[in-house]
Each structure stands twice: as structure tokens, then as C-alpha cells.
A and B are shown apart, each in its own frame.
Chain A
Amino acid sequence: MKITFPHMGTTYIPVKMMLDELEVEVVLPPKSNKKTLELGTKYSPEGICVPFKIITGNIIEGIEQGADTVFMLTGCGPCRFGIFHALQNEIIRDMGYEVEFITADRFSNYQGLKEFVDQLKEASSSNHYIKILKTIRKGLKLLNEVDVLHDLGNKIRPKEINKGEVDYLFSHYENEIRKSYGYIEMMEITKSYQEKIKNVSINKSRDCLKVGIVGEIYTIIENYINFNIERKLGNMGVEVIRTTSATEFVREQLDFIPFIRSEKKKIYQAASLYLDIPIGGHAINTIGNIIRGVHNEYDGFVHLLPFTCMPEIVALSILPTIEKEQNVPIMSLVLDEMTGEAGYMTRLEAFVDLIQRRRELKNEGKSFSWY
């Protein structure tokens, strides 16, 4: 069995590690790129959200490189994500490939978790439950460390003295990770890069603008589709706070287990002023994280969403009111396969200029109404 799975930012690192540990052969598709998107777009329904298209592209590329099994996460309640795999299965079948789909159903209760473990057991029959459970724990640990590394990068990047140093380290990190195998090695590399990033020389006194990234989780985490927004903003001297991460996503799914804690309650609480019930996807997180960010004095927010994303369109209709009432700039960027990088950059730069001016006026003691 040769297993492939789609990308979402750096989540491939813990997933590959887990499969390594369970001695399943992995075919890692290339990182999402232009060709992935083209391929995915070609075989996907036109009107579907762009995450579906890229993921389909990943799967096809994985199969082209010899995978005979596809591992897909499902779940996510009322939104499309949960049905991705069924349609992708049909698409792949109609293309003439014969591959098996293994899915991890939403594991928001013990039953779901057990099914997931059973699936893994099916994939690697020689493994015992205990080993699988241990591996899952390792996966969560590594996932967390990878996210810690990522967030460190976002903090250091705007302050670095030698421009481009953080980005340079990250590209080396991923190169090394791709060549590594198993938990111990991957963990070591990840930790060592955390140290390297911490040791990047920075201008401590620099007072950076703070921008929160909110919105649909895939577009936040997959930096190919968001044109590397964190790097772009970071290199403009902005401290970027990614309000969600793969770790937080997994925690939110698993927080029925007593020792796992997520921010869910706090986020929902913060959102309740405008939306007091989860409506699917991450709409409520978008709202809640903006309010939390306002309390932490972020200078502005970038709201990322795929074209036709149902839950985020609900959020979109609430945002103008929040901008006005909370007096904070929010810029929504709707992403799809046609989004051009140039126009995107122009909007981003204009946004940073705006919040910069706002900050200066504020420092001079003048108020600046966003409206």
C-alpha cells in the first residue's frame, strides 16, 4: 500500500510522520503550486470552493506518482468539507484510476475517534491499538511544535535586521523535513529550527503594526492560495497573528477529551455579541477572533475566504457592522483560481498604509474614525 494525502500548509509534516511510524509507505505530493491548482480546476466542478480544487489536484498528483490509496480528512459539520472525499472519489474513478479512499470521519466523540483508529489499523495491519494511539499522540505533539515554529516566524519576521533571514530558514527547514523520517528525527529538526529562528538578530525596539488573519481555515493555513500573506505582511514590517492553526482546529475537534483544551469557548463567547451560534465552517471563529483581537489592540484584520464559501459569506454580511461599531479596519479577500497576485498585493499595501496612518494619528492623540 502506498498512501497519499492532500496538503494544507505544513500539516503534511505530522501526518507523514504518523504514517512513517506506522510503517506505511507515503507518497507525498508536491507542495501545492500552480500546476496543482490547474489540474484540480480542470477536473473539479466549476462552482466549488477553491480548497476543493487544490485538494483534488494534490490527490491526482499523488496518484500520478504511484499512490494507490488516498487518505482524506472529512467532517466539519454542515459545510462542504465533509463531502469532499465522496465527490473526489467519483472524479478520480471517472478519470480511470482505481484507488482506495480512507477517510477519517469527524472525530468529535469517542466513536469517531475509534473509527479513525480502525482506519489506521486497516492501513497498517501489523500495528496494535496501543501503538496507533501512541502515534496519534506523537502526531499531536509534532503538529503543535510545527505551529509554534510557524508563529515564532511571524513574530520575528517584521523585526529581523537582515531581511529575508526568517524566510531563508523556513525554506531550509522544509527541505530538511522532506528528507527526514519518523518522529524523533522530525521533532529534532523542528526544535532546532525553533532555536535558529529565536537567534535571528532583531531590532527589538521596533514597534510593529499588528494584523490578525481571520476567515476560512484552509485559506488561512495553505499559503499557496493566500499568496503567502503572512510573509508578505511580515516583510512589510507587520506582525501577523494567525488566529487559527491546524493545532487549534484539531483541539476543537478533540476537546471532549478532558485533558485537551481549545479556545472554542472563549471565541464563541467573544462572538456572541454578533453571532451567538455556530453556523458551520468557521464563521463564528471569524467573528469571535476579530472581537478578541480588538480587545488585544490589533490594528486591523484581513479576512480570507474562498469564493462561494457559504459560512464565510454569512460572516461577510456581519463584518461592516463590526467595522463600524468596533472602529477597526477589516479587509476581506475573496480567493479563487482567478485571483491575480498583482491586484492582491496592491490591496494589501493600501491596507497596510491605511492602518499605519491610523496608528500614527492615534499616537499623536488624535482619533481616526474608520468610518
Chain B
Amino acid sequence: MSKIGLPRGLLYYEFAPLWTTFFEALGAEVVVSPKTNKKILDDGTRYCVDDACIPVKVFHGHVLNLKNKVDTLFIPRIMGIHQKEYICPKFCGLPEMIKYSINDLPKMINTKIDYTKKDQSKRTMNQIASYITTNKKTIQKAYQMANQSYTEYKKNQKELLISNNHNIMIMGHPYIIYDDFLNMSIKKKLKKAGLYPVTYDIFDESILNKYALGYHGKIFWLFFRKMIGACLYLIDHKLVDGVIYLSSFGCGIDSVVAETVERNIRRNSQIPFMLITIDEHSGEAGFNTRLEAFIDMLKWRNKDENYLSPYGDYVYSR
């Protein structure tokens, strides 16, 4: 039985149930690297090009963790998973980044996942499956099971929306907001303070799409669409008491998206906003200080009738 390694990084956080179910149903053993830890980050940083963003470095670390434990690594080349929409050039070149940075790798499955022109999921899954089996029936069944578990996973994310009035929206790439090492367990910290962290995954795609359409520029990035959609929706409905954007230092997408989200929120709403940039040197102490200050401000603001801007550069009342 072949052992397939799934590095716990980047879009693993979006597709874990899909990929795991698929490979298992095909009869492979799936090995997922452990949750990100200091060693994984350090190893990744050592092997990856200096100028890359932290999530890509962490991904390298996960590959290093797995490389001697499995006989195949699943590192697809993800061009885009929706029509006319890309994710990031680094996803397209991920197989090369890994291949030319790490020696003595096991076999890799680098199937191209490209739905930017049309939905090719069936064909793509067939291609991936061919590394393990040629049995059409097994593949067909695995495909169905995988889709089902993914749909379920997405549905469960929606149910997380609890209507209370202490929601804090955490924005950023899934591999930051769901990687508790990178986000320094922000959710736990918020909960401890009596706040309720949510992510844009609680919203229906259709809502995100509808609101993203209201944006004036052409959108051809997946995360831009999701986050600007969520942002405009929040402005409209005021569902949260605050927005925290966790961005990765050196991320080309975040530099645009965070700025756009911030400008829109500040211009059109009174929702407090905070941007925290994460890199491999950011210490937890500094992070905590900023988070606590933000939480204090929210609490104080909720008590008081006079609303104060989190930045202190202008004061307005309601």
C-alpha cells in the first residue's frame, strides 16, 4: 500500500477532508505532517528561499518533516480552483519551489489543478488517482466520497455562526487563520476574553460573491474575492464588533487585500479594525500586547456610548 504524504500547509487547510478521503478511498495510506511547530518553521526557513512568505516557508518545513516517512508526496500545482480566478503565483510554482530547494525527495504527485477556464475536477481527480490505481470503479467511488466529505466540512463551517454580539471576524489566508502556531492561538485568546472569533468561511459563497461583485475593480484572486465580499457584507450588516486581519509579511496578495479591506471598513463603517503582520521573527509578547489593547478598546467601547476609533486619530460619536 502506498503511503501518501500530505504536508499540513497552504491549501491543506481548505481541502484536507477532500484529499484525505480521496486517497484513503483509493486504498492509500495517508500521512499528514504534524501541526506546525517551531522546528517545522525553522527547518522550512532554512531550506526555502529567503524572500518567500512565511506560509511557503512553513510548507517547506512540513515537506521536510514528511520526506523520509512516505513514498509519495502530494504537492499539486494549483493554478486556480474557480473560473477566471487565480490564487497566487507561488501556488502555481510550488512544485518547483520544493523540488529546487529540497534534495532527495520521494516521488511527487504534482498534478495541475486548473479550473480557471472550466471546471476540470473530474479529469484532474482521475489524473491524481492514476498514481494509485487504474480501477475506474474505485476512482469513481473515491471521487464521490471525497466530494461528499468536503461538502459536509464546508457545511459544518457554516453552522459555526452563533448569533451573539461579541463576534470578532478574523481575516487572512486559511493557512494562517487555521494554523494556530502561525496565528499564535488567536482564537483561544479571544475566547478567553469572552469574545467569539469567526472567519469568512461562515458565510455562504453566494453572499461573498454577491458582495464582491459590488466592488469597483475587476477581481481575479480567490482570496481577494472572499475577503472583499466578507468585508462589504460586514459593512452592510454590522455583524461583528471588530475585524482582525492577520497578514503574512512578504505576501503579495495580503498587501493589496488588507489595504483594500481596511480602507473600505474605515471609510464606510465604524467597525474597529486591526492589522497584524506575521513573520518568522514576530514574538508572541508583542502580538499579545497588541491583541490585548484591541480587546480592551472593544470592551471600553461597548460600555461607552461614545465610540472611539481604534487608531485614536479621529473621534466620532453616535
**A interface residues (Cβ-Cβ under 8 A, vs B):** 45-49, 74, 77-80, 82-83, 85-87, 89-91, 94, 105, 274-275, 277, 279-281, 283, 307-311, 313-314, 316-318, 320-321, 334
Among listed B17-25, B90-98, B134-142, B301-309, interface-contacting one: B90-98
- The reply to whether B256 and A48 contact each other, CB–CB distance below 8 Å, is yes
- The reply to whether A47 and B247 contact each other, CB–CB distance below 8 Å, is yes
CB < 8 Å A-B pair total: 122
**B interface residues (Cβ-Cβ under 8 A, vs A):** 48-49, 51-53, 77, 79-80, 86-90, 92-93, 96-97, 100-101, 112, 215-221, 224, 247, 249-256, 258-260, 263-264, 267, 277
CB contact under 8 A between A80 and B100, given known A47-B250, A277-B112, A283-B93: no
- The reply to whether A86 and B51 contact each other, CB–CB distance below 8 Å, is no
For A78, list chain B residues within 8 Å (CB): 79-80, 86-89, 92, 220-221
- The reply to whether A313 and B49 contact each other, CB–CB distance below 8 Å, is yes
Q: A91-B263, A94-B263, A280-B86 are in contact. List 9 more A-B contacts (CB 8 A).
A: A45-B258, A87-B260, A275-B93, A280-B92, A308-B250, A310-B252, A316-B49, A317-B48, A318-B96
For B250, list chain A residues within 8 Å (CB): 47, 307-308
CB contact under 8 A between A85 and B217, given known A277-B77, A308-B255, A313-B49: yes
Shortest Cβ distance from B98 into A: residue: A317
Write 21 A-B pairs (CB below 8 A) sorted by A numbering. A48-B256, A48-B259, A78-B79, A78-B86, A79-B252, A80-B252, A82-B218, A83-B217, A83-B218, A83-B224, A89-B217, A91-B263, A275-B93, A281-B89, A283-B89, A308-B51, A313-B51, A314-B89, A314-B97, A316-B51, A334-B51
Q: CA separation between A317 and B49, bound complex, in Å?
A: 6
Q: CA separation between A183 and B260, bound complex, in Å?
A: 40
- The reply to whether A311 and B93 contact each other, CB–CB distance below 8 Å, is yes
Shortest Cβ distance from B116 into A: residue: A78
- The reply to whether B97 and A317 contact each other, CB–CB distance below 8 Å, is yes
For A274, list chain B residues within 8 Å (CB): 96, 100
For B96, list chain A residues within 8 Å (CB): 274-275, 314, 317-318
- The reply to whether A279 and B89 contact each other, CB–CB distance below 8 Å, is yes
- The reply to whether B260 and A47 contact each other, CB–CB distance below 8 Å, is no
Q: CA separation between A309 and B255, bound complex, in Å?
A: 11
- The reply to whether B251 and A308 contact each other, CB–CB distance below 8 Å, is yes
